Amino acid sequence: MYFHVMKKVIVMFSGGLDSVMAAHLLKEQGLCVTALHFVLPFYCGVGKSFSQAEKYAGDLGIPLRIEEEGNEFLEMIRSPKFGFGKNANPCVDCRIHRLKRAGQIMEEMGAVCLATGEVVGQRPMSQKMHSLRKVEKLSGLKGKLLRPLSAKLLEPTDVELSGIVDREKLFDISGRTRAVQLAYAAKHGLSHSAPAGGCLLTNVETGVRFNDLAANNLQFSLVDFKLLAYGRHFRTSQKFRVIVSRDENENEVLEKLYQPEIYKIFLRDTLGPLAIGIGEPDEDELRFGASAVMRFSKARNEDQAAVIVEKDGQQRVLNVKTVKDDELDKYRVTSRK
């Protein structure tokens, strides 16, 4: 009696239309597909769920592996070899970084290839033809990296040459339109997430915050980097910055990111925003942080408020008045100035 052993394939998976289609194409060819979902450091360890990726992998009937990024991501973004896009997005370096890690996972799992939902010409920095070839070479995946949606426009991979994957059943999509992908999804009843605004690092405000962080401390920590995604940011000096939460959810995130060696600033007698202060402030800078917490709370119109400043398990109370908007704007880290 003979048993057919299904070949394992890893598909880098966001849950978006392209990655869902790539996974489905390979599953339809009888391959054992595992979805691999990378998570930026911003969303790791702060209580975020990955329900969308879980849902769309579940709808396809394939297992999902979550890969959370940490300090190794910081090493890449501090000095990306191929530079940044319009903001703080090191797209080519990030792609190489992730593919190298995905290649390691491919080997660990005994998979025959790694696949992505990339489309030739869809993204300006990382998906031009020359960028796709460069990324494949520098990630060490020559012949192992399959792009099913544009495969017929690219050189055949090892799995196509060996017949493990039928090249004739792959596509030759190029450009930014998704008409072919949408038609394929409709034909096969595939569910997928709606198009998003792209990686947070492509956001203008995140870019401004990152540039401020890197300019003042290139050896920033993982917590420093994660905080770029949350709160209102104020830089009072090269040595000190304050992040004030915008809502209850951000309060919870900042609480999770808090470490004893940094400052935690919050109202003593009423609910309100939580702030985190990082660096070496003087007394005026601490009072600014306390006044900013008051400004964004329901106590903003009171004569003064008692604000607790905590560090290394030690607390003190500062009685402050609300900070004026022009002073807030002077220190605010933003593109809107």
- Residues of 212-231 as b/e, b for ≥16 C-beta within 10 angstroms? bbbebeeebebbbbbbbbbb
Structure tokens at 88: 């703080």
At residue 128, does pLDDT exceed 80?
no
pLDDT one-digit tens code per residue, 2-29: 344 689 999 999 999 999 999 999 999 9
CA angle 45, 229, 94 (to 5 degrees): 80
Tokens linked to 221: 């920590």
Mean pLDDT of 132-160: 95
The CB-based long-range contact list for 162-167 (8 Å cut-off, 24+ gap) reads 164/7, 164/31, 164/112, 164/113, 165/26, 165/29, 165/31, 165/113, 166/29
Q: Give the pLDDT confidence of 212-263 residue by residue, as tens digits.
A: 999 999 999 999 999 999 999 999 999 999 999 999 999 999 999 999 999 9
* Mean pLDDT across 278-289: 97
**In this model, does residue 103 exceed pLDDT 90?**
yes
- What does pLDDT average to over the chain? 93
Sequence letter at residue 92: V
> What is the pLDDT, as a whole number, of residue 196?
67
- As a whole number, mean pLDDT of residues 297-312 equals 96
The domains located in the chain, with CATH, are: 8-188 (3.40.50.620), 230-331 (no CATH)
